[in-house]
Amino acid sequence: MEYNPQEIQHNFLQNPKECDRMLQSGAENLHLDVMDGHFVPNITFGHPVVECLRKQLGNDPFFYMHMMVAKPEQWVKPMSAAGANQYTFHLEDTENPGILIKDIRESGMKVGLAIKPNTTVEDLAPWASQIDMALVMTVEPGFGGQKFMEGIMPKVQWLRSQFPSLDIEVDGGVGPEIIHRCAGAGANMIVSGSAVMKSHDPRTVINLLRNACCEAIQKRSLDR
Confirm whether 167 is a catalytic residue.
no
Catalytic-role residue among 20, 33, 93, 167? 33
Confirm whether 171 is a catalytic residue.
yes
Catalytic-role residue among 36, 93, 103, 171? 171
At residue 172, what is the residue type?
G
Convert 151-164 to b/e letters by CB count within 10 Å (16 or more is b).
ebbebbbbbbeebe
CA distances from 58 to 21, 52, 83, 107, 203 (A): 14, 10, 10, 20, 21
What phi, psi does 184 have (nearest 5°)? -65, -30
What phi, psi does 45 have (nearest 5°)? -155, 175
Please give the positions annotated as active site: 33, 171
